[in-house]
Structure 1
Amino acid sequence: MGIKGLMKLIGDEAPSCVKEGEMKNYFGRKIAVDASMCLYQFLIAVRQDGAQLTNEAGEITSHLSGMFYRTVRMIENGLKPVYVFDGKPPEMKSHELKKRAEGREKAKDELEEAKETGTAQEIDKQERRLVKVTKDHVRDAKKVLELLGVPYVEALSNLIEHSSILSKDSLCFKTPVLLRRLTMPESRKLPVQELHYEKIMSVLGLTHAQFVDLCILMGCDYVPNIKGIGPKKAFELIKKHDNIETILQNIDLEKYKVVDDWQYKDARRLFVEPEVYKNIDPPKWKSPDIEGMIEFMCVKNGFNEERIRSGLKRLEKSKGKINQGRMDDFFKISKVVSTSKPTPKKDAKRKAGKQKGNTAKKLKR
């Protein structure tokens, strides 16, 4: 889930902080990619005639197709992806995991009802709600990456030191650059979105501590939000009262219901003092194991050999690309322009300075 409503809040309050571009703009960059989120997207999106892809044994292979072709496309555009697989989730995430499990149980009942009385569209909707990334999916994905020669790491408690990643809550860990839509299907034609942590804090006018409390108020994977407080209200409260403790002292607790034993302090600690896995070797990209990939993707899982070999050729060809100028500007913080109107005093000084400069130019002439 990440942070509920965060992108809407940024879009409303700090739209200048969202820059859109193409994948090729990140040529030569090492990109940390949320593997679990990708696998979920692939299982949802990669389908044929409305159903997930399967091999002859009836095993799902949609995630293999997505992982192979999306990784090839990223490398083809000059990116250096490093996939990050989740480690053991923190105990505090149990409420979110329980909520997801309850949602799947509800989807099972609604799927059975849809099969009896619903449309094909309703059946497809409920089947997608039942999608879950399993250990087998993760194992298969790692196998594809190994054969492609692409590095991956298993995060300790869901976090590594990184420059960019796909999950929105990574901004709570001061991720310098967040890239969204990087692994979206080409058919959706959505541009990559780039967000800079420092610029967002500056435009929103928040400290890191305030931003973390804001995200907790909106709802995160560790604790639920306060009922009745959405993104806009949460932002107003943080700007006015600075932190959750002061907010709880000043809001109507009859109107805004707080769950019993709301462990917001523990959630805050997970964001502010995360368990970081620092002792990892630098990632290395190797040449793909072509015959090993053909054996795994085509012989074992039934993919078209000509298409897989074509993808591998594209991968090999991408190595010969010449980096025509590093795209460093894409990872520099742009100048933040205040959205507030200038005061009359400041505006007068600005005009006076401009007139003085014009006078000096005339004298020189």
Structure 2
Amino acid sequence: MGLADLRQLAVLSEVSYDELDGDVVAVDAHNWLYRYLTTTVKFTNEDVYTTEDGAEVANLIGVVQGVPKFFEHDLTPVFVFDGGVTELKSDEVERRREQREEAVAQMEEAKAAGDPIAAARLESRTQRLTDVIHETTRQVLELLDVPVVEAPAEGEAQAAAMARNDPAVDYAGSEDYDTLLLGAPLTLRKLTTSDNPELMDFEATLQKHDITWSQLVDIGILCGTDFNDGIHGFGPKTALTAVKEHGDLWGVLEAEDEYIEYVDRIRDLFLDPNVTEEYDLDTGIDPDLDGARDYVTDQWEIPTNEVERGFERIESAVVQTGLDQFT
């Protein structure tokens, strides 16, 4: 999903990492990992992250560069991975595949034209989370003793549900705005940037606009989601006005003489998603740095200089706190 226009309605504020000391965040793993993966590919020669047998593991560089921020700020991450793709999302998956194929063709043209900068930029748009990336990401997180939860369906829905229902989890973590529709009380954004995090407040958003959770979902559906196209002419503010005037999504559709296929099911994907409470969550972290280094540099052939700074940052955080911050 990616309802970026919801930013116009969301209540957002900057929060310092000092305010997050000792907290736990359920991170949408695919969202977090994809950003580090594409950044690594964009700015790193492909020989660096390609093994002798041709496997591409730029994710390992991204993970080692991204995880230290959590350790350094005593913010425990729980990485939540997607399960199966929701049936109604198949059109969106196909659209993204077509975009990757177009980017591949443009990348080859840039290479043939001798434009390495354009080629690198386009290559970052061709990335997808392969089986090898899934496997190696989970393994390095395990060696770093970072908790992982496997969602039955959408990872962001699981992360939002954990933030909403699990007393051990303080926030959902995602760069997207979907966790707002999914009812996460508090979402941390910008966890993949050098800035302070941005806090998105669900209840404050409802109160600001005097709407219910279901009405917020109705607004999102009218604007368009990964499960449906929006109604022409409806942005967040227009949809907000219409939902408040007509009461709910069906009132707006009737007034506009519009129709959205599978709208009941789409609504339920936000209000009652497929999530689980069957997971073990141990937030005491004791990383095996030697094992993680060997796995990344020896087994997967990532040059030491590409990841050593990340491992040093983790080690420094561990030494500085004597592991107290992780237990």
Give the structure-1-normalised TM-score.
0.77
Q: Deviations over 1:323-348 (max 9, x none)?
A: 8xxxxxxxxxxxxxxxxxxxxxxxxx
Paired position in structure 2 for 1:176? 185
* CA distance in structure 1 between the partners assigned to 2:104 and 2:271 by the alignment: 38
* CA distance in structure 1 between the partners assigned to 2:61 and 2:84 by the alignment: 26
Q: Deviations over 1:276-306 (max 9, x none)?
A: 2012223243422233112112222233275
* CA distance in structure 2 between the partners assigned to 1:179 and 1:39 by the alignment: 15
* CA distance in structure 1 between the partners assigned to 2:43 and 2:189 by the alignment: 28
* CA distance in structure 1 between the partners assigned to 2:208 and 2:217 by the alignment: 16
Contact 1:69 1:311 survives alignment (8 Å): no
Instruction: Tell me which moved more, 291-300 or 80-89.
Output: 291-300
Instruction: Say which SS state the counterpart of residue 36 (structure 2) adopts.
Output: helix
Structure 1 residues 73 and 318: CA distance shift in structure 2, 3 A: farther
* Pairing 1:132–2:99 present: no
Instruction: Say which SS state the counterpart of residue 146 (structure 1) adopts.
Output: helix
Task: Say which of 38, 57, 61 aligns to 1:61.
Answer: 57
Paired position in structure 2 for 1:298? 297
* CA distance in structure 1 between the partners assigned to 2:241 and 2:298 by the alignment: 58
Alignment of 1:278-357 (within 5 A): 278-300=277-299, 301-304=301-304, 307=309, 309-320=311-322
Q: Deviations over 1:264-285 (max 9, x none)?
A: 2210011122222012223243
- Aligned-residue RMSD, C-alpha: 2.4
* Pairing 1:274–2:283 present: no
Give 1:317 shift. Answer: 2.0
Paired position in structure 2 for 1:5? 5
Paired position in structure 1 for 2:95? 99
Instruction: Say which SS state the counterpart of residue 179 (structure 1) adopts.
Output: strand
Paired position in structure 1 for 2:31? 37
Contact 1:4 1:218 survives alignment (8 Å): no
Q: Deviations over 1:115-167 (max 9, x none)?
A: 44584443333222211111211111111111111110111112323222214
Give 1:74 shift. Answer: 0.7
Paired position in structure 2 for 1:349? none
* Pairing 1:195–2:200 present: yes
Structure 1 residues 308 and 118: CA distance shift in structure 2, 3 A: closer
Instruction: Tell me which moved more, 281-290 or 239-248.
Output: 281-290
Structure 1 residues 70 and 27: CA distance shift in structure 2, 3 A: same
Instruction: Tell me which moved more, 52-61 or 240-249.
Output: 52-61
Instruction: Tell me which moved more, 222-231 or 142-151.
Output: 222-231
Task: Say which of 171, 185, 206 aligns to 2:211.
Answer: 206
Contact 1:76 1:318 survives alignment (8 Å): no
* CA distance in structure 2 between the partners assigned to 1:169 and 1:145 by the alignment: 25
Instruction: Say which SS state the counterpart of residue 67 (structure 2) adopts.
Output: helix
* Pairing 1:249–2:254 present: yes
Contact 1:4 1:220 survives alignment (8 Å): no
* CA distance in structure 2 between the partners assigned to 1:47 and 1:25 by the alignment: 33
Structure 1 residues 197 and 242: CA distance shift in structure 2, 3 A: same
* Pairing 1:216–2:218 present: no
Structure 1 residues 202 and 68: CA distance shift in structure 2, 3 A: same
Q: Percent identity?
A: 29
Contact 1:298 1:304 survives alignment (8 Å): yes
Residue type at the aligned position of 1:201:
L
Residue type at the aligned position of 1:304:
T
Instruction: Say which SS state the counterpart of residue 33 (structure 1) adopts.
Output: strand
Structure 1 residues 279 and 270: CA distance shift in structure 2, 3 A: same
Residue type at the aligned position of 1:25:
E
Instruction: Say which SS state the counterpart of residue 229 (structure 2) adopts.
Output: coil
Structure 1 residues 252 and 312: CA distance shift in structure 2, 3 A: closer
Paired position in structure 2 for 1:70? 66
Residue type at the aligned position of 2:319:
K
Paired position in structure 1 for 2:77? 81
Task: Say which of 135, 144, 156 aligns to 2:152.
Answer: 156
Give 5+ residue unaligned stretches, structure 1: 11-16, 324-365
Give 1:308 shift. Answer: 5.7
Contact 1:22 1:192 survives alignment (8 Å): yes
Contact 2:81 2:149 survives alignment (8 Å): yes
Give 1:89 shift. Answer: 1.6
Structure 1 residues 296 and 281: CA distance shift in structure 2, 3 A: same
Give the structure-2-normalised TM-score.
0.85
